[in-house]
Amino acid sequence: MFKRIREPSHQGLSIGDGDIHNVTGRMSEGLNVIVLVKQVPEIEKVRFDREKGRLDRGSAGAVVNPFDLHALETAVRIRESAGGKVTALSMGPKKAEESLRDVLARGADRAVLLTDARFAGADTLATSYTLSIAIQKLGAFDLIVCGEKTVDGDTAQVGPEVAEFLDIPHVAYVEEIREIWESGIVVRSKTGKHYLLVELEFPALITVTKDINTPRLPTLKDKLKSRKAAITAWGAQDLSEAGGTDFFGLSGSPTWVANVYAPHSGERKGQTIRGTPEVAARKIADILGSLIVPR
C-alpha cells in the first residue's frame, strides 16, 4: 500500500498499488513512456536441450515475460494519471507479435517489434544496443520502464545496459513510485536489505519488481481490438540511420555460451587479494581471464 514519506516537492502524482493519491491535474502534454517487453517460453513447460546447451523454445508456448507485465502496468497507470502515451518495444522473432498484441490489449497505445535474422544470436550487450538504437529512432521520451529480469535469460542486465547506451540515469529493482511530475520521478528501490529513495530527472529508465503493482487482466473487447491493431516492424536496415549495424546479433556479441552444466555443490572458499586497488584489480582480471573458455 502506498505511503507518502514527505510532501511532494513538485506537486506531482504518487502511484502505488492502491488508489492514486495527490492527483493535481493532468500534465500539460502528458508523459511519453516506453515499455520494454520480451516474449519468453512458458517456463514451467519448456524443455532444455542438453546437447545444444540452450532452451528448446519450440517445446512450450510463449508468453509475455511476467516481470514485463508489471512494467506495462506501471506505464499504463502513469498514463492514466498524467496523460501521455505508452509505447511497447520488443526484440524477437515474428512470433513475438502475439505478445505485443497482449500488451496492447492490456493498455499500451503502440507496439514496435524489432525482428530480423541479423538480430539473432544476440547476447545482452547486443540486445541492449539494438533496443537503444530503436529507442533513439522512436524520438523524444520521458521514461523507459523494464521488468527487473526475464524468466528465461534471468541476467537483469538489459535495462541498465540500455540506459548506459542512451546515457540516461537509471534505477533497478523499483518497487514503488513515490512521486512523478512533468520533469522527473522519485522511486523506492530495494537492494538486498536496504531501500534506496532516488530522484531522477527525465529522460530516465527504471526496472521494476513484482511488488510494484498487480497487472490488470485484458477484457475480451480489448483482446479482440488488439487482434486488428497495427504493429510496427523494424529490421536492421530500418535502424541503420540511427546507429551502426555491425553491433547487432551474433557479430555484436562479445559473450557466448561455452557450456551449460549444473554447478557442483562443493564447498565455497573465499580468497583475499591484497595490494593497491590497481594491483588488486589486475590480479582479479587475471583470475577471471584464466577462467575464459576460448570460443
Taking the complex as a whole, the smallest distance from the CB of residue 247 to ligand FAD amounts, in Å, to 13
Q: Is 171 in the site for ligand FAD (CB under 6 A)?
A: no
If 0-12 CB within 10 Å is exposed, 13-18 middle and 19+ buried, where does residue 283 land?
Answer: middle
Three-state SS for 174? strand
Taking the complex as a whole, the smallest distance from the CB of residue 72 to ligand FAD amounts, in Å, to 9
Contact of 255 with 291, CB cutoff 8 Å: no
Window 124-143: residues binding ligand FAD (CB under 6 A): 124, 127, 131
Q: Is 152 in the site for ligand FAD (CB under 6 A)?
A: yes
What is the rounded CA–CA span in Å between residue 54 and residue 245? 26
Counting Cα atoms < 13 Å in the Cβ hemisphere of 171 gives: 25
80: number of Cβ within 10 Å: 15
Q: Is 154 in the site for ligand FAD (CB under 6 A)?
A: yes
Q: Is 256 in the site for ligand FAD (CB under 6 A)?
A: yes
What is the rounded CA–CA span in Å between residue 117 and residue 70? 29
- Cell of residue 29, nine digits: 502534454
Nearest alpha carbon to residue 50 among 286, 281, 260: 260
Residues 40-59, one symbol each (x = binds ligand FAD by CB under 6 A, - = not), give: --------------------
Candidate list 15, 27, 71, 205; residue touching ligand FAD; CB under 6 A: 71
What's the maximum distance between 2 C-alpha atoms anywhere in the chain? Answer: 65
Q: Is 38 in the site for ligand FAD (CB under 6 A)?
A: yes
If 0-12 CB within 10 Å is exposed, 13-18 middle and 19+ buried, where does residue 18 land?
Answer: exposed
Based on CB atoms, which residue is closest to ligand FAD, 107 or 159? 159
If 0-12 CB within 10 Å is exposed, 13-18 middle and 19+ buried, where does residue 126 land?
Answer: buried
Based on CB atoms, which residue is closest to ligand FAD, 163 or 186? 163
Closest residue to ligand FAD: CB criterion: 153
Candidate list 70, 77, 106, 149; residue touching ligand FAD; CB under 6 A: 149
- CA 169 to each of CA 32, 197, 242: distance values in angstroms, whole numbers, following the listed order: 16, 14, 21
Q: Is 116 in the site for ligand FAD (CB under 6 A)?
A: no
Candidate list 16, 27, 33, 67; residue touching ligand FAD; CB under 6 A: 67
Contact of 240 with 114, CB cutoff 8 Å: no
Q: Is 91 in the site for ligand FAD (CB under 6 A)?
A: yes
Three-state SS for 190? strand
| Contact stretch for ligand FAD (CB under 6 A) within 73-81, 163-171, 250-258, 266-274 | 250-258
Give how many residues touch ligand FAD by CB under 6 A: 33
Q: Is 153 in the site for ligand FAD (CB under 6 A)?
A: yes
Taking the complex as a whole, the smallest distance from the CB of residue 286 to ligand FAD amounts, in Å, to 23
Q: Which residues bind ligand FAD (CB under 6 A)?
A: 36-38, 65, 67-68, 71, 90-92, 120-124, 127, 131, 146-147, 149-150, 152-159, 253, 255-257
